[in-house]
Amino acid sequence: MKIFNKVVIIGTGLIGGSIGLTLRKKHLAGVVFGLSFHQKNVKLAKKIGAIDVIGKDLNVVQDADLVILAAPVDSIIDIASKIKGKLKKDCILIDVGSTKEKIVSELSLKFSNFIGCHPLAGSEKRGVANLGGDIFNDSVCIITPIKSTNQKALNKIKLFWTKLGAKVVMISPKEHDQALAHTSHLPHAIAFTLINAISDKFLSLSSNSLRDTTRISGSNVLLWSQIFLTNRDNLLSAIFSFRKQFAALELALKNRDKKLLTKIIKNANKKRERLG
């Protein structure tokens, strides 16, 4: 079932490339163009079938039905400003950035058919070489509409993500950034800090628990520094909540309080079970 005739993906990394691969696999688009400022990325995307055509420059968006901004957070607004005036009237523009308030507030003013999106898929591995055609199966995609969001465009993008295999959840940009600060950005901050806290001399004796807990510390440096700064206030709030919980554990240890330690671990067990 074709949803769009021409799709342009700007940023053919893990998420952008996976979108293209799934679009082509499920025949949801007539033709998929890919554009990247890293020629190695876009050439590989073409080679492995994530896109049909390599775009030469940003003018490739001129007759597109859907343009997907799959670049790092700071680059999304910059790229959008460069393609303003190039899109046809009914073209839908979406982004897949990990923070939403700043992006949605700015791009909704400039584009009548802009929809903020954040697919909760992917891994710490980066680049088109690690993409997967089934990455969106049973995943969640958050869409962040506002009062001025075009309803027709919104419905089409809901269908788009559903056809890719994702379950769509709609919340406000503010709610998104608050929630993701706790469920995504804080875990990354903890993983980065935890691995840095381990002495080099102990790394050769690492257990699976350390590997599991710090897996995401291998995430993209530029991407995550931008995410942290873009969602700074919410992340600081999440860090404050974490510090309170960690302080309770520290106090229980100092006081040799087995009852409190047991309670903390049991509460964690129950909450983890709810995660599935």
Q: What is the pLDDT of residues 166-190, one digit of tens each?
A: 999 999 999 999 999 999 999 999 9
For 226-265, write each residue's pLDDT tens digit: 999 999 999 999 999 999 999 999 999 999 999 999 999 9
pLDDT of residue 37: 83
**CA distances to 75, 77, 90, 216, 263 from 97, in Å:** 10, 10, 22, 18, 38
Is residue 123 predicted with pLDDT exceeding 80? Answer: no
**CA distances to 37, 102, 229 from 168, in Å:** 30, 21, 26
What residue ranges of the chain are covered by domains with CATH 3.40.50.720?
Answer: 4-171
Give the tokens for residue 194. 């935890």
Instruction: Look up residue 59 and give its DSSP letter.
Output: G
What residue ranges of the chain are covered by domains with CATH 1.10.3660.10?
Answer: 175-275
CB of 142 within 8 A of CB of 166?
no
CB of 11 within 8 A of CB of 71?
yes
pLDDT of residue 39: 84
Residue that wins the pLDDT comparison between 36 and 178: 178
For 62-74, write each residue's pLDDT tens digit: 999 999 999 988 8
Query: Among positive and negative, which fits the CA dihedral 88, 92, 97, 100?
Result: positive
CB of 153 within 8 A of CB of 163?
no
4-171 under CATH 3.30.70.270, yes or no:
no
Model pTM above 0.75: yes
Give the CATH number of domain 175-275.
1.10.3660.10
Residue 16: Cβ within 10 Å count: 27
